[in-house]
Amino acid sequence: MEDLKFIPGNKFAKDRNILPGVSDKETEDIKAALEAGDLSGAAYVAHKSDELLKKTELNIAITGESGAGKSSFLNALRSLGDEDKEAAETGVVETTKEPEPYKHFKYPNVILPGIGTPDFKPDTYLEQVKFDRYDFFIIIASERFRANHAKLAQEIRRMEKKFYFVRSKVDFDLYNEKRKQNFDEEKTLEKIRNDCIKHLSREGINSPQVFLVSSREFQKYDSPKLQKKLLKELESHKKHIFLLALPNLSKPILEKKKKALQRQIWKQALKSCAIAAVPLPALSVKCDIGILVDNMRQYCESFGLDDISLNALASQVRKPVAELKDVIKSPLAKDISKETAKEQLTKATGKGLILAKHFVSMIPVAGTIFAAERSFTVTYRMLNSFLDDVAEDAQRVLIKALERENK
């Protein structure tokens, strides 16, 4: 098995130094296993890489004074409305000592506690909220940033962690300003931004960057810029899980999600390939279907093609959920079953080719190599095809959701 052409990127050519979605060390381990003809060993490395990705935790601290809009921001970041069952309570009194961790309803390793700063003391605050657990801080204010916000940012910087200033509730400011003559939205937003920067600069923050956000209209204003900034500054595994957890409210995010998931497909195909090399056709069929079902469901959930996400989006854009579902051609996450996967597999390869693959796997050496290569190719193509369909559905849902605004 010296030349395994079915690995992507030519397809595991000797001049290829790294595989997508894995570390340099994992690439070397997979390469060594393949060169030794150890498909199961290569698949095991891919499996362990997947497990590490699933177990990686991302802790985001959302902090600010009571009433600043932390809970609404937290809900928006989790693709939930304030009235949804899993949403964080809004308008409640908070405490700095016992931040309540809210897990993302699809990605429980993405944890977003809301922590207040009403009694902030630089020498004790970060210890109270167990500072070290957080990957970065989002500091929120609904009117103006004060001395406490700046002191907190300085302490976070001193401890070499990232922080981001978010000015919330800008939709309310714009609503109030619209009553005035000669209202100009861009000028109003720039005025709010400059006022925030001025107050933070006075408190000793050099060249502060402030993101203007509305939790009720999370796709607008500076929210896309904030999401792009956060993705840019996170390391690989944490970037991946954060990206998948982001709301599906912009075309660039949908495109990034698709690329991130595409980078993982070859690992799933490699697992199928290794199982197909074992001369037990029934096992190969069962595992192929299991791999497909798991990944198809993940794609649907990542792109918001599940009932909870669609209901939350419909509520946010004030449209019947049936209107959003009408433009979806793929099955929803809850409808993905073994039968669905078999249908997709047959459509992608033809029933005869599937049977041929498993019969030929019973032929020693040559047969198992053929079955392994065929299994890799089939799984790789089928998952890519399904991902294309789901990504297109997500684009159609987004267009339908924002249709009213574009008219």
pLDDT tens, position by position, for the chain (407 residues)? 333 444 544 344 344 455 677 778 888 888 888 777 777 788 888 888 888 888 888 988 888 887 888 888 988 888 877 666 666 676 555 544 456 677 787 888 888 766 665 555 656 667 777 778 888 999 999 888 988 899 889 988 888 889 999 999 999 989 888 888 888 899 999 999 999 999 999 999 988 999 999 988 888 899 999 999 999 988 878 899 999 899 988 899 999 999 999 988 888 888 776 665 444 444 445 567 788 888 999 999 999 999 988 988 888 888 899 999 999 998 898 988 888 887 777 766 655 445 444 444 444 444 455 556 667 777 888 888 899 999 999 999 999 998 865 44
Which amino acid does the sequence have at 355? L
Rg of the chain over all Cα atoms, to the nearest angstrom? 25
Residues 32 and 113 in one domain: no
Residues 254 and 362 in one domain: yes
Model pLDDT, residue 252? 92
Residues 385 and 281 in one domain: yes
Domain that holds residue 388: 24-54+249-406
Number of helical H runs and strand E runs in the chain: 16, 6
Domains in the chain: how many in total?
Answer: 2
Residues 293 and 217 in one domain: no
Domain boundary among 224, 244, 264: 244
Closest C-alpha to 39, from 356, 293, 365, 281: 365
- The reported pTM is 0.80
Dihedral of the CA atoms 193, 406, 247, 343 (nearest 10)? -160
Residues 341 and 387 in one domain: yes
> Is there a contact between 216 and 246 (Cβ–Cβ < 8 Å)?
no
Residues 113 and 237 in one domain: yes
Residues 297 and 393 in one domain: yes
Domain boundary among 213, 244, 275: 244
Residues 191 and 307 in one domain: no
Burial degree of 262 (CB within 10 A; 0-12, 13-18, 19+): middle
